[in-house]
Amino acid sequence: MPNLQSSVLVIGGGISGIQASLDLTKLGFKVYLVEIKPTIGGAMAQLDKIYPTLDCSLCILAPKMVDIYRNPNIELFTYSNVKNIRGSAGDYTITIIRKPRYIKEDLCKGCGDCGEICPVRGIPSEFDTHLKTRGAIYMPFPSSVPPIYLIEESKCLYLNYRICGLCAKACKPEAIDFLQKPEEIDLKVGAIVIATGYIQEMPDVYDSFAGSSPNVFSSMQFERLLSANGPTGGQIIRLDDKKHPHSIAFIQCVGSRDVHHPECKKYCSAICCMNSAKEAIVVKEHDPSIDCYIFNTEVRAKGKNFYEFIEKSKNEYNVKYVNGHVSYIKENLDNGKLKLYYEDIDKGKVGTFEADMAILASALSPPPSYHELLRKLNVGCNNLGYIHETDIILLEKKNIFVTGYSRKPNDIQMAVAEGSACAAKISEILYHVRFQNIKKLKYPPEIPVKLEDEPRVGILICQCGINIGGIVNVSEVVDYVSKLPYVVHVEENMYSCSSDSQERIKELIIKYNLNRFIVASCTPRTHEQLFKNTLREAGLNPFLFELVNIRNQDSWVHQNEPKKATKKACDLIRMYLAKVINLKPLETIKVKVEKSTLIIGGGIAGITAAYNLANQGFEIYLVDKKSFLGGVALEFIDLYYIPITKNEILKEIKDLKNKSNVHILLNSVIDDIQGYVGNYQVKVKNIHDNSKNKTFNVGTIIVATGTKQIKTSRWVNLSERYPKRLLTQTELTEMKDADVPEFKDATIILCVDQRRNEFNTGDNIKTYCSNICCGVALKNIEKLLNINHNAHIHILYREFQFSDLNAENLWRRLRKKVTYERYRSIDDIKICDENDNFHIVYYNVGAQINIEYNTDLLILATPKVPVDDTEQLAKLLKVSTNTNGFFLEADAKLRPIDFATEGIFLCGGAHWPKWIGETITQAYGAAGRAAIIMAKGEIETECITSYINEEKCIGCGKCIEICPYNAIELVEIYKEMGLYNISVRKARVINAVCKGCGACIVECSVGAIDQNHFSKFQINKMIDLLPSLDAMDYEIV
Amino acid sequence: MQWIMKLFNLGGLILLKIKKKVKSEFEPNILVFCCNWCSYAGADLAGVSRFQYPPNIRIIRVMCSSRVDPTFVLRAFNNGIDGVLIIGCHMGDCHYMKGFEYTQVRMVHLKNLIRYIGIEADRFQLHSISASEGKQFSELIKDFTKKIIEFGELKIPKKSGIFELEYNCTKK
Ligand code: FES
């Protein structure tokens, strides 16, 4: 075995790289994160909002970026490049070139004095997609990580002509160093992760789309335009005449899905349809009077709740979808509008349209650095510009992993899951050397804070760019707040979440000897943890902190009433001040974690997770209802679009059976689950044999229950009459070639009773898209053509939903043999039987007429639903499901494989129907997330729990009845009563189980229970201080 | 414990010395309790989507609506707060499974009590907002504020006595 290195190189600091890095450090590896740009964050940092949650993109990304920056086990190399890679799997030597920033990283405070004084102006800013300008010395964007400046060499007057040098004089910490040279650094790593992301290029086809017009934007440019910290401060205006547009046209598939034009990409970029829908919704929310038109060939909404999102944009926001491909755009010089020429598919003619603004959803592709990297690794790429799937497997054997957009076009959710998956795989390979190179987070000793101590409160008020400062008069708030009692120091700043602000908080705490802290900024839901960590680093108990929400719940919602918004901010801070001075320091409790996992579902997801975790040395309990492992994947005759074969899966199952730390429980269902993260007691019941029932303890749980295809009531009379010739897709897939009945003409109908809008939901009619039917249909066509080469095959579709590169290729290839026919609504299709044949009548969208024909084999793509006992399992696990019955993840984008409940993870079809490739990725991801909890062997529990005052408790047991988590128990204690010892019953909270809802407190009739951090006294104080004390409102009598 | 007393007095003392100016326009004080998981997130979403609503509300975040003690509501009215709103998750969506059900049962009683004291019962309401209902949140606040403005300033009927009682037992 070669000398294994306990560190990992991650190339690319976008969301996928960030996720991989964070997970890797928690699994016990040192990470070197190399990013070619001066800041990490990638494309996600540039986005305004994310779909389908419409969360602010930077808001949820920034805490992760700061996490990277503060993690002692991540060494960050920004503005750096990989020069070469030597060595072999497990022991690579990497040479990195760090380009000179001409700034000493450790001295720069990011104050911006240098940027202000720099005489060079008008350089287009890359971050703002050339819509904004900057100087020669600049920071890419306000919350860059690292938060420091750099000098662009080619533009700097001093570096080129030896004149100027003003910045060096302006810089107080003397951080500017004109003598810096490129640095070469050698790193030793055991594995490599490639996560270089995408860029949006402007190919030459743009000329035909009036690309040079100031009112034509790429989708990323428009994203910056919408963003509050973008070039127009979030205002939607035409850049030439500064007028508000009345109509905006979004043009899909610009420079992509085009096989003829050499400049164009042949594949679908996967995210543009959703992205445009999101942008249109954001526009509508800014100003409902703007008309949004989306010109598309077909809408591809491939993801959980994505189709519903598109429907929402149509129905709730009145975004209009025009079915047609735009061929070119001309500027109309008379009225300054843009004239679009497009093929109107619905009307079957060429149409024109005038819009004030056009947004081009142009192709996304891997950056040049990606191809350079592949060249260094000696692997080629396919004609689409991506690595071959087979090469990915090959690279994985060499401990090199490809994730995110570098693997194939995909959205943030998959990028995150893949990041976690890479971490899990690396943890499996380098299992022997983990924790060897890791630095422990060392916190300074906690400053003891007693309740009697006079509170000394520090307050930081955030401007959040112009988000808060543009409406709330922050300096007035500072003025007001500084006069309140116990407030020692108040300060305003630009971005409280930035890493320099964290340093500032620490400084303040020490300088003013503070023992409580308040930050008034955005929402605690995203940022509380960040500040709590900062407090702890400064030596203060993290629970002596409150975050006051003056952005989401103040400045953003009172944009027209700046005076009142300011007053509200004052009031809120005053209320939270009342709470914060009454806060108590809380201690976390460490709980031992069982190093074992329960995996529910032995399909491909379950097997993959089990295999990975078993190799990491954890104990596995794999439970499946069926009598064999392998799930639907083994029932299928063929596996689609993935470079693994059925034999490989069978081998994996066999390996799994031979492992001593894997317990496989077949024919079994979960009977009961008790306990909490780190310590679940599981009872498993064998369906046939009660003596095989088992009880065991596990630390984490992975849910991998999968999906199944159902039959709907549509054409039920036909399927009863011809059970052999009217099949669902799954039935055909599972059928051996010989069993397929003879046919001359076969028809596959897609979207049967799925992707319907909510008005026609009924029994088994679904609103969502089952994701895989289109791709499966293509494979089924291949299968049918194999059986009967001369058969005529129709495929009736609404919109093809694959963005998979292979599926797209197959679709093109099959075009010669199959007729793709587009229908409008499933209700338009009428089928009856005629001389033992199916007679189909439907309205064809392309031809604009009713078409009739006979067919003798009918295959339906009916919805995929979660397996039967999902609801029941959700109850046992105390997790929730969404309206479609699928398990609900913690966050659609950044925590796609976690449940809100800690210690339980989700993968595969239980999340949403998906391809085997995606299932495997998610399974690895879930395994990695589970391993993070178990790797250390202990976790820290919640602090916000209930506690019971034993003196007051009368042992009535009311709280026990009401507690949804069984977190309260009755204990018998002995009390001295004069001469006698009598036993009394008292309630007691089990800290590790208590989730801190507080329901018991109100139930207690003697007031014996209270909650940490939300105590009765604290909330009462807040209520007392709510009535406005604004001096303006009162007069002294 | 001196400092606790100091702050405790902050509200009371100042109010003793000064009197509220009679203003032409009535600006109600409204207290809103939001649970951390759904309604607070909904309120955040209203912000993210820039749905505007009147700036009279002050939100107190609690982990679950079931944490809201009826005495909080009474105390608020006693402090002259003109309206109180409790917003939880939708039925069945509560992060703690049953919390919202408990709240509903409790608040029915509370509402009766409030009516009994002689305060308009609609000055106190219980609602559900999910994390994705930013629009609904702003609508709800708009409606509620309008209603409170219609009711006008809160006048606590004298001699109800219930408040003194409540005060004493929560004084700590
Ligand atoms: S968590 Fe929202 S009501 Fe319980």
Is B77 domain-assigned?
yes
Residue B72 is encoded by which pair of tokens? 């909080």
* DSSP 8-state code for residue A658: H
Beta-carbon separation of B59 and A49 below 8 A: no
A777 and A856 together in one domain: yes
Contact (CB, 8 A) for A296 and A319: no
- pLDDT score at A187: 94
Q: How much is the pLDDT for A12?
A: 94
Pick from B64, B57, B58: which is nearest to B38 by CA?
Answer: B64
- A536 and A405, same domain (yes or no): no
* Top-confidence residue, A23 or A533: A23
d(CA A664, CA A658): 10
pLDDT at A241: 87
Q: How confident is the model at residue B167 (pLDDT cuts 50, 70, 90)?
A: very low
In the stretch 856-885 of chain A, residues with CB closer than 8 A to chain B read 878, 880
Whole-number Cα distances in Å, A912 to A268, A879, A895: 21, 16, 14
Task: Assign residue A675 the CATH number of its domain.
Answer: 3.50.50.60
A260: number of Cβ within 10 Å: 6
Q: In angstroms, what CA-CA distances link A657 with A442, A589, A631, A653?
A: 42, 37, 16, 6
Residues with CB under 6 A from ligand 1: B 35, 37-38, 64-66, 88-89, 94-96, 99-100
In a domain, A617, yes or no: no
Distance from CA of A548 to the nearest CA of B (A): 10
CB neighbour burial string for A853-867, b if at least 16 within 10 angstroms, e if fewer:
bebbbbbbbbbbbbb
Residue A900 CA, ligand 1 centroid: distance in Å: 14
What pLDDT band is residue B159 in, cutting at 50, 70 and 90?
very low
| B96 C-alpha to ligand 1 centroid (Å) | 6
Looking at residues A401-423, what average pLDDT do you find?
92
Q: CATH no. for residue A107?
A: 3.30.70
Residue B12 inside a domain? The answer is: no
ipTM above 0.90, yes or no: no
A87-90 long-range Cβ contacts below 8 angstroms, 24+ apart:
A88/A2, A88/A398, A89/A2, A89/A191, A89/A397, A89/A398, A89/A399, A90/A1, A90/A2, A90/A3, A90/A4, A90/A5, A90/A190, A90/A191, A90/A399, A90/A429, A90/A430
Which carries the bigger pLDDT value, residue A570 or residue B24?
A: A570
- One-letter amino acid at B120 equals E
Residue of A399, A276, A398, A412 whose CA lies nearest to A8: A399
Which CATH number does the domain housing residue B155 bear?
3.40.50
Selection from A100, A297, A68 nearest residue A180 by Cα = A100
* SS3 track for A487-499: EEEEEEECCCCCH
State which residue of chain B sits closest to A1016, comparing Cα positions.
B170
Q: List the helix and strand counts (H, then E) for chain A.
A: 28, 52
Q: Which of A865, A886, A910 is the last residue of a domain?
A: A865
Cβ pair B59:A1037 closer than 8 A: no
On whether any CB of chain B is under 8 Å from the CB of A998, the answer is: yes
Task: Decide: A899 and A905 in contact? Cβ < 8 Å.
Answer: yes
Q: How far is CA A684 from the centre of its chain?
A: 33
pLDDT at B23: 55
How much is the pTM? 0.80
- pLDDT at A2 exceeding the cut of 60: yes
Six-digit token pair at A544? 């002596």
Q: Does B8 sit within 8 Å of A900, measured CB to CB?
A: no
Strand A133-134 relative to strand A123-124, pairing: antiparallel
pLDDT band at A33; cut points 50, 70, 90: very high
Q: Identify the domain containing residue A750 by its residue range.
A: 709-865
Closest chain B C-alpha to A1024 CA, distance in angstroms: 6
- Which of A363, A393, A420 terminates a domain? The answer is A363
For residue A72, whether the previous peptide bond is cis, meaning omega lies within 30 degrees of 0, is no
Ligand 1 atom closest to the Cα of residue B128 is 3
Give the per-residue pLDDT at B171.
38
pLDDT, one tens digit per residue, over A715-764 is 888 888 888 889 998 888 888 888 888 889 999 999 988 888 766 656 77
* Beta carbons of A391 and A408 less than 8 angstroms apart: no
Judge whether A948 and A1009 are in contact, CB under 8 Å: yes
pLDDT at A1022 > cutoff 70: yes
Mutate to test the pocket of ligand 1, among B40, B64, B133 (most ligand atoms within 8 A of CB): B64
pLDDT band at B158 (very low <50, low <70, confident <90, very high): low
What's the B144 CA to ligand 1 centre distance in angstroms? 21
pLDDT grade for A609, boundaries at 50, 70 and 90? very high
- Convert the pLDDT of each residue in A79-91 to its tens digit: 999 999 999 888 9
CB atoms A559 and B1 under 8 Å = no
Q: Do A666 and A742 reside in the same domain of the chain? A: no
A713 and A776 co-located in one domain: yes
Does pLDDT of A155 surpass 80?
Answer: yes
Question: Crossing angle, helix A916-935 and helix A604-615, to 10 degrees?
Answer: 40
| Residues A54 and A82 placed together within one structural domain of the fold | yes
pLDDT at A196 over 90: yes
- The letter for the amino acid at A576 is Y
A1031 part of a folded domain: no
Cα B41 to Cα B132: distance, rounded to the nearest angstrom: 8
A318 in contact with chain B, both atoms CB, cutoff 8 A: no
Q: Show the tokens assigned to A692.
A: 């095989």
Mean pLDDT of A473-502: 86
Q: Give me the residues of A, 53-82, that contact B with CB < 8 A.
A: 53-56
Residue ranges making up the domain that contains B98: 26-167
Q: Which atom of ligand 1 is nearest to the CA of B35?
A: 2
**Shortest alpha-carbon distance between residue A484 and chain B (Å):** 9
- Same domain (yes/no): A194, A165: no
Whole-number Å distance between alpha carbons of B164 and A142:
52
- Over 90: is that where the pLDDT of A914 sits? no
Q: Determine the Cα–Cα distance for residues B169 and B172; give it in Å rounded to an integer.
A: 7
Position A204 scores a pLDDT of 65
Q: How far apart are CA A873 and CA A904, in angstroms?
A: 12
Q: Which CATH number goes with the domain that contains A521?
A: 3.40.50
What is the Å distance from ligand 1's center to A436 Cα? Answer: 43
Six-digit token pair at A874?
């959700």
A752-803 per-position pLDDT tens digit: 888 887 666 567 788 888 888 888 888 889 889 989 988 999 999 988 887 6
Residue B88 located in a structural domain: yes
Across the interface, whether the CB atoms of A452 and B67 are under 8 A apart is answered: no
Are the Cβ atoms of B76 and A559 closer than 8 angstroms?
Answer: no
Give the pLDDT confidence score for residue A975 in this predicted structure.
82
User: Is A593 inside a domain boundary?
Assistant: no
Q: Report the C-alpha gap between A407 and A388 in whole angstroms.
A: 9
Cβ atoms A122, A133 nearer than 8 A: yes
pLDDT at A184: 95
CA distance A44 to chain B (A): 17
Q: Show residues of chain B in contact with A1002, CB under 8 Å.
A: 66-70, 102, 106
What confidence tens digit (pLDDT) does each residue in A134-144 have?
999 998 987 78
pLDDT-derived band of residue A1032, with 50, 70 and 90 as boundaries? very low
Minimum-distance CB partner of A997 among B70, B71, B99: B99
Contact yes or no for A56 and B48 at CB 8 A: yes
Residues above pLDDT 90, as percent of chain B: 37
Please tell me whether residues A634 and A536 are part of one structural domain: no
Q: Which helix (H) or strand (E) holds A105?
A: none
Identify whether residues A377 and A435 lie together within a single domain.
yes
Phi and psi at residue B135, to the nearest 5°: -60, -50
How far B21 CA lies from chain A's nearest CA (Å)? 5
Is residue B9 situated within a structural domain?
no
Residue B119 to chain A, least CA–CA distance (Å): 18
Residue A203: its pLDDT value, please? 63
Q: Locate tokens 């070619």: which residue?
A: A36
Instruction: Say whether residue A888 is in contact with chain B using an 8 A CB cutoff.
Output: no
- Which residues, 6 or more positions from B99, have their beta carbon under 8 angstroms from its beta carbon? A964, A997, A999, B35, B64, B65, B66, B88, B89
* Residues A791-845: tens digit of each pLDDT: 999 999 988 887 677 788 888 888 888 999 999 888 889 998 888 889 999 998 8
Average pLDDT over residues A321-334: 89
Mean pLDDT of A1-18: 90
Using a CB–CB cutoff of 8 Å, tell me whether B63 touches chain A.
yes
The confidence score (pLDDT) of residue A624 equals: 93
User: Which pair of structure tokens corresponds to residue A723?
Assistant: 């059970």
Task: Output b/e per residue, A3-35; b: 16+ Cβ within 10 A.
Answer: ebbbbbbbbbbbbbbbbbbbbbbbbbbbbbbbb
Which residues of B are less than 8 Å from A567 in CB distance?
55
In a domain, B20, yes or no: no
Q: At what angle do helices A499-511 and A57-70 cross, to 10 degrees?
A: 60
- A610 domain residue, yes or no: no
Q: Are residues A259 and A148 in the same domain?
A: no
Chains A–B, number of C-beta pairs less than 8 Å apart: 186
Say yes or no: A557 contacts chain B, CB-CB below 8 A. Answer: yes
Q: Does A1021 touch chain B (CB under 8 A)?
A: yes
Q: Does residue A597 form part of some domain?
A: no
Distance (Å, whole) CA A60 – CA A54: 11
Query: If contacts are CB pairs under 8 Å, which of residues 108-167 in chain B contact chain A?
Result: 132, 138
Q: Average the pLDDT over each of A109-123, A127-141, A683-697 and give the range with the smallest value.
A: A109-123
Count CB-CB contacts under 10 A for residue A843: 16
- Distance of CA A886 from the midpoint of ligand 1 (Å): 21
Q: How confident is the model at residue B161 (pLDDT cuts 50, 70, 90)?
A: very low
Q: Do A1017 and B60 touch (CB under 8 A)?
A: no
**Ligand 1 pocket: which of B40, B91, B100, B102 to mutate (most atoms <8 Å of CB)?**
B100
Give chain A's domain count.
Answer: 7
Are A285 and B49 inside 8 Å of each other by CB? yes
A410 vs A965: CA distance, rounded Å: 39
| Alpha carbon of B69 to ligand 1 centroid (Å) | 14
Q: If you measure from the C-alpha of residue A273 to the centroid of ligand 1, how many angstroms do you get, rounded to a whole number?
A: 34
CA atoms within 13 A of residue B47's CA, in its CB half-sphere: 23
Q: Could you give the C-alpha distances from B24 to A21, A562, A568, B27, in angstroms and in order? A: 59, 20, 20, 9
Residue spans of beta strands (DSSP E) within A89-163:
91-98, 123-124, 133-134, 137-138, 150-151
By the 10 Å C-beta count (0-12 exposed, 13-18 middle, 19+ buried), A669 is classed as: middle
List the structure tokens of A104: 């000493």
Please, which residues bridge with residue A968 across strands?
A989
Contacts of A1037 in chain B (CB under 8 A): 17-19
| Rounded average pLDDT over A566-574 | 91
Q: What is the mean pLDDT of residues A907-933?
A: 91
CA angle A642, A647, A648 (to 5 degrees): 60
Q: How far apart are CA A465 and CA A473, in angstroms?
A: 13
- Specify whether A689 is located in the same domain as A737: no
Q: How far apart are the first and last CA of chain B?
A: 12
**What is the reported pLDDT for A640?**
66
Domain annotation covers residue A209: yes
Please check whether residues A170 and A217 belong to one and the same domain: no
* Range with lowest mean pLDDT among A33-47, A855-869, A949-963, A1019-1033: A1019-1033
Report residue A189 CA to chain centroid gap.
Answer: 28
Which residues in chain A touch residue B80, judged by CB atoms under 8 angstroms apart? 1027
Q: What are phi and psi of B16, to 5 degrees?
A: -65, -40
Confidence band of B10 (pLDDT split at 50, 70, 90): very low
Q: How confident is the model at residue A980 (pLDDT cuts 50, 70, 90)?
A: confident
- Calculate helix-pair angle for B162-169, B70-78, nearest 10 degrees: 120
Give the count of domains, chain B.
Answer: 1
Residue A459, beta-bridge partner list: A490, A518
Rounded Cα gap, residues A1005 and A999, in angstroms: 12
- The answer to whether B41 faces chain A, any CB pair under 8 Å, is yes
pLDDT reported for residue B22? 55
* Residue closest by Cα to atom 3 of ligand 1: B88
> What separation in Å is there between the alpha carbon of B42 and the centre of ligand 1?
12
pLDDT digit string (tens) for A631-656? 877 776 666 666 677 788 888 888 88
In a domain, A452, yes or no: no
Q: Let me know if residue B15 belongs to a domain.
A: no
- Smallest CA–CA distance from A487 into chain B, residue: B7
What would the mean pLDDT of A326-351 be, rounded to a whole number? 87
d(CA A355, CA A877): 52
Q: Which of B34, B85, B94, B104 most suits a substitution to test ligand 1, by most atoms within 8 Å of the C-beta?
A: B94
Q: Does residue A782 lie in a domain region?
A: yes
The CA B128 to ligand 1 mean position distance, Å, reads 9
Give me the numbers of helices (H) and strands (E) for chain B, helices first please.
6, 5
Contact A639, A916 (CB under 8 A): yes
| Residue labelled with tokens 């579709």 | A797
Inform me whether the pLDDT recorded for A119 exceeds 60: yes
Residue ending a domain, choose from A425, A445, A465: A445
Nearest residue in B to A1037, CA atom: B18
Write out chain A residues lying below 8 Å of B93, CB-based. Answer: 880
Contact check, Cβ <8 Å, A1002/B7 = no
CA of B41 to the centre of ligand 1 (A): 11
What pLDDT score was predicted for residue B164? 46
Query: Between the CA of residue A417 and those of A403, A889, A895, A1030, what are the distances in Å?
Result: 9, 12, 8, 50
Domain of residue A995, CATH code: 3.30.70.3270
A637 and A769 in one domain? no
B47/A553 CB distance under 8 A: yes
